[in-house]
Structure 1
Amino acid sequence: MTTTIKITPFTNEPFTDFTREENKRAMEAALTKVKQELGKEYPLHIGNEKVFTEDKIVSINPGNVDEKIGFVSKATKELAEQAMQEALTRFEDWKRVSPLERAEYLFKAAHLMRERKHEFSAVLVYESGKNWAEADADTAEAIDFMEFYAREMIRLSETNIHRPLTKLDGEANEITYIPLGVGVVIPPWNFPLAICVGMTTAAIVSGNTVLLKPASTTPVIAHKFVALMEEVGLPSGVINFIPGSGAEVGDYLTTHPKTRFISFTGSKEVGLRINRLAAETANGQIWLKRVIAEMGGKDGIVVDETANLDDAAAAIVASAFGFQGQKCSAGSRAVIVESVYDKVVEKVVELTKRLQVGAPEENFSVGPVIDQNSFKKILEYIEIGKKEGQLLVGGTKAAGNGFYIEPAVFADVDPKARIMQEEIFGPVLALAKAADWKEGIEIYNDTEFGLTGSYFSQNEERIAYALENMHCGNLYINRKCTGALVGVHPFGGFNMSGTDSKAGGYDYLLLFTQAKLTSKKVR
């Protein structure tokens, strides 16, 4: 494979401005094209085989439940084992492929995805219920991950061989990073393209082979990515696509003696289960399995009395209700200093009332939640919230043939209340009052999670205190707590938010490798 794409410095993929008529028309054309392809069947990819199974995962449009996005073949334990053997065989060849050649597959895939950006985004609109901007950002991030990790692999391959070690006369010493082996990649449904692409390509560009088990609610967009990698010539068996049950296929592969690592993004409960299962040593296992996990959050924004209140209110609403609050970084709680509490609450309510709920393909600001289970769970939390605070706006089912909920804002919520402590993963915002800015930070820290946070203030001493004392993996000052960019905001959290693996950062690829020191006696 020859290098055909020039390696340039990394820059983030720009977001599309849909207020421009030509961009709007292009997106509408992509939506029309994708809509005509709905209802297709998709196979497993095991080595060079395309396997269609009788048992299917049915992907449903959450914004129109009568619409089927696709029918995706469902793996069994037996097929998962077949995929494992293919991945093991391919690993022996793939680990010897040069880092530059591995990186070029990512460059080529990023190039093609950029050319078809709106088509990928259109699938996200239909399958995950994202509006145009959220879908466009998801696709842009997928492109960013491929571009960034490709460059990182080249950089590591060029520098690790010559990494400076303490010199010792009579010896030539060097440290290199080699791939781990076969990994299981389990991405989430909320960023079903970006995070799926990021997790998978980080593993393969580092020289590993993977078993990709996408989320059951969004398997079609994952298949589109796998097909793209096949199109650019990625050898069969490097990525094996095996959608299936977490309890069956997920557990089987997590406990498999040949699994070297598990890369997971999802709920705290599932992440803890994976960590526990991976810690058990299976018969024939000769290593400790590595778990790379991002498990969610209960993120929040603290506002003191010196803050720009308009900016703070806008950030609170954007953080809470972007993609219906279905982000692990979503600011589902805000802690506001008492002296400006009423003003901020008033502004938050006013902005929330402006949000319009409707079909994602029509580009409403708020779309559906992902499925019936989430819909039911969120409405149950809203009922809990009515007992724990004052419902100021929203909190009801919204019109439409899908899982639509009016964004809910609860005021005067006790910091220990369930809607202040538990991850809801929906359009529900809890507001709490603090006596002063320090108590606001204490309330923010009072959670088992530690993913993202934001502090609004114009006092530099307080900002310095917040930077040191707000305990989270990604802390932002005077901006919203969502919207991490690859290479700009390496992403990962503390406590029950996971292993703080910092996706999109300069250390991330090292998690998929192991360091090898070689020492040679010289004269």
Structure 2
Amino acid sequence: MSFGIFNIPVPTNEPVKEYRQGSPEREALKRALQDFRNQETDIPMYIGGQEVRTENKLKVSPPHDHQHILGYFYEGEAYHVEQAIDAALKAKQAWASMSWEHRAGIFLKAAELIAGPYRARINAATMLGQSKNAYQAEIDSACELIDFLRFNVHYADELYRQQPNSSPGVWNRQEYRPLEGFVFALTPFNFTAIAGNLPTSVAMMGNTVVWKPAYTQVLSAKVIMEVLQEAGLPDGVINLIYVDGPIVGEVIFNHPDFAGIHFTGSTAVFQKIWATIGNNIHKYKSYPRIVGETGGKDFVLVHESANVDEVATGLVRGAFEYQGQKCSAASRAYIPSNLWSQIEARVKGFLAELKIGGTEDFTNFINAVIDERAFKKITAYIDEAKQSKDVEVIAGGNYDGSKGYFIEPTVLRVSNPAYRTMCEEIFGPVLTVYVYEPTEFEEIIRLIDSTSPYALTGSIFAKDRYVIEHVAQKLQNAAGNFYINDKPTGAVVGQQPFGGARASGTNDKAGSAINLYRWVSARTIKETFVSPKHYSYPFLKAE
């Protein structure tokens, strides 16, 4: 066997294609959309490299056309979870022992496959299965997932190179072992890139994984597995299952080889998982790693010195791209009275121009929310707001679920800054505004910090640099990702590592080396070249 210290290709962010009329990427994407439309895709589970099907077939439909059937996936039972764990444990030794450069090569190849032959396919699956427009799908399922794969290889290489000092006659080394056991990846519907990153970042460090995606993301999850298989990922390293959450939890969180969870989802679910792990802590071989990114109630604070056009653009993009179904979406805004009328007019003008409809029509900016449950939850907030004396509907407020789960971008103005849409995560196209007097600015800062239990993202729009510095200091714990004169969404791998604290998660920063440290267990090795042969020390000699 040959050995060497290998240099990883320097990662760069994948360029975002624009999908202009007549462009080759637009034509390729349209063909991929039509291919998915014209067939019913078979979506099996993948356990130990085997495709697994059951008698319980569940349909997959576009949220914007819920009568159309894109395909079927197969829901498993408890014994499928057990099979997935067994497959992960069986694959563990060989995978953990594989030379690092060969593990890295698999994920670098996966990135190239997504950048090239799979780009249109994974974007089309995301557009249809999760109702993302072409641009939102491109920056998510193609570019961000490519970036996660490339940059995580780079960060892992940096991690492995960190070694302790050695003194004369001693060689100190540090190994970064994978965790002992298997890791559970529980992923959300809203970002294909997150669904791909949570299991692959763990596997990259030598761990084997049981992966359960959201049922509303299974179409693009299948494409991810296709990519990983073509890239050469060995059987059993990542096992993809579709099993109801409580059933999965009952098996996994009682298993002695459970070593950790990589999670993105709701705060309530994550807190329940944490409590379950705590109650079962005596059952595990080691203390499990618990890594989670959860909810947000993300703020935009506007100062009286801000630029009106910049604020209006940031609000519309930050609140309504992907129908507000981003953990980082702008959900509450605090706007000074001296700018409100101008910002209101500009936002209304933008919203009047936006088209709503299916993702196959590339002129539609707004598409459907993910499913009927989300539709009912979001519209209940809107209906209640319409009846409240504390709320004025500034824009939108209408919805129609007959063909697809369409909700107009809705802007609410509240007179009470503690009204529930200022405090609770809605996860839909609803922005709530509170207009304040400029003299109340300091109180508004305190209000932002105390209104919500979350601390994921937030932004400040201002020209006054003293104000920007002051707000950044006062709100240092209110947002894990803080934006200056920009919307609070759109974190880029390698540029803005993403995550928040408080009720928003463990802030382990996806897209950075911080996250990868959670998936290794270090072993320090001290080698003494000439060992002592007597117990005594010089100080013991008599005077």
TM-score by length of 2: 0.91
Counterpart of 2:36 in structure 1 is: 34
Kindly indicate whether residue 423 of structure 2 is the aligned counterpart of residue 421 of structure 1. Answer: yes
Kindly indicate whether residue 368 of structure 2 is the aligned counterpart of residue 368 of structure 1. Answer: yes
Kept after mapping to 1: 8 A contact 2:164/2:172:
no
CA separation of 1:27 and 1:413: change in aligned 2, threshold 3 A: farther
Say which is worse superposed, 5-14 or 408-417, in terms of deviation: 5-14
Offset of 1:282 from its aligned partner? 5.7
Kept after mapping to 2: 8 A contact 1:257/1:282:
no
Give runs of aligned pairs for residues 259-270 of structure 1, distance below 5 A: 259-270=258-269
Offset of 1:169 from its aligned partner? 4.4
Counterpart of 2:182 in structure 1 is: 182
Residue type of the partner of 1:43? P
Counterpart of 1:317 in structure 2 is: 316
Counterpart of 1:443 in structure 2 is: 447
- Name the CA distance, whole Å, in 2 between partners of 1:224 and 1:409: 36
CA separation of 1:324 and 1:251: change in aligned 2, threshold 3 A: farther
- Name the CA distance, whole Å, in 2 between partners of 1:432 and 1:175: 53
Determine helix, strand or coil for the equivalent of 2:432.
strand
- Name the CA distance, whole Å, in 1 between partners of 2:351 and 2:444: 23
Kept after mapping to 2: 8 A contact 1:349/1:409:
no
Give runs of aligned pairs for residues 55-454 of structure 1, distance below 5 A: 55-115=56-116, 116-138=118-140, 139-157=142-160, 159-160=161-162, 163-165=163-165, 167-180=166-179, 181-191=181-191, 193-281=192-280, 284-363=283-362, 364-386=364-386, 387=388, 388-398=390-400, 401-436=403-438, 437-446=441-450, 447-454=452-459
Kept after mapping to 1: 8 A contact 2:185/2:198:
yes
Give runs of aligned pairs for residues 455-494 of structure 1, distance below 5 A: 455-470=460-475, 471-494=478-501
In the alignment, structure 2 segments of 5+ residues that lack a partner are: 531-543
- Name the CA distance, whole Å, in 1 between partners of 2:7 and 2:123: 26
- Name the CA distance, whole Å, in 2 between partners of 1:255 and 1:277: 9
Kindly indicate whether residue 523 of structure 2 is the aligned counterpart of residue 522 of structure 1. Answer: no
Counterpart of 1:14 in structure 2 is: 15
1:483-513 superposed Cα distances (whole Å, 9 cap, x missing partner): 0000101000010000001001122111111
1:146-202 superposed Cα distances (whole Å, 9 cap, x missing partner): 111122222322x13xx243x5444322323211131000110001x2001111110
- Name the CA distance, whole Å, in 1 between partners of 2:107 and 2:293: 23
Kept after mapping to 2: 8 A contact 1:297/1:451:
yes
Determine helix, strand or coil for the equivalent of 2:20.
coil
Determine helix, strand or coil for the equivalent of 1:218.
helix
- Name the CA distance, whole Å, in 2 between partners of 1:9 and 1:391: 50
> What is the total number of aligned residue pairs between the two structures?
516
- Name the CA distance, whole Å, in 1 between partners of 2:330 and 2:383: 20
1:22-52 superposed Cα distances (whole Å, 9 cap, x missing partner): 2322221221222223x22222111132211
- Name the CA distance, whole Å, in 2 between partners of 1:391 and 1:336: 16
Kept after mapping to 1: 8 A contact 2:155/2:512:
no
- Name the CA distance, whole Å, in 2 between partners of 1:20 and 1:42: 32
Counterpart of 2:537 in structure 1 is: none
Say which is worse superposed, 182-191 or 397-406, in terms of deviation: 397-406
Residue type of the partner of 2:384? I
- Name the CA distance, whole Å, in 2 between partners of 1:272 and 1:283: 19
CA separation of 1:76 and 1:399: change in aligned 2, threshold 3 A: closer
Kindly indicate whether residue 513 of structure 2 is the aligned counterpart of residue 506 of structure 1. Answer: yes
Offset of 1:20 from its aligned partner? 4.5
Which of 498, 504, 519 is 1:497 aligned to?
A: 504
Residue type of the partner of 2:55? E
CA separation of 1:376 and 1:399: change in aligned 2, threshold 3 A: closer
- Name the CA distance, whole Å, in 2 between partners of 1:423 and 1:254: 27
CA separation of 1:310 and 1:117: change in aligned 2, threshold 3 A: same
Determine helix, strand or coil for the equivalent of 1:301.
strand
Determine helix, strand or coil for the equivalent of 2:196.
helix
Offset of 1:393 from its aligned partner? 1.3
- Name the CA distance, whole Å, in 2 between partners of 1:344 and 1:414: 20
Offset of 1:283 from its aligned partner? 6.2
TM-score by length of 1: 0.95
- Name the CA distance, whole Å, in 2 between partners of 1:61 and 1:121: 14
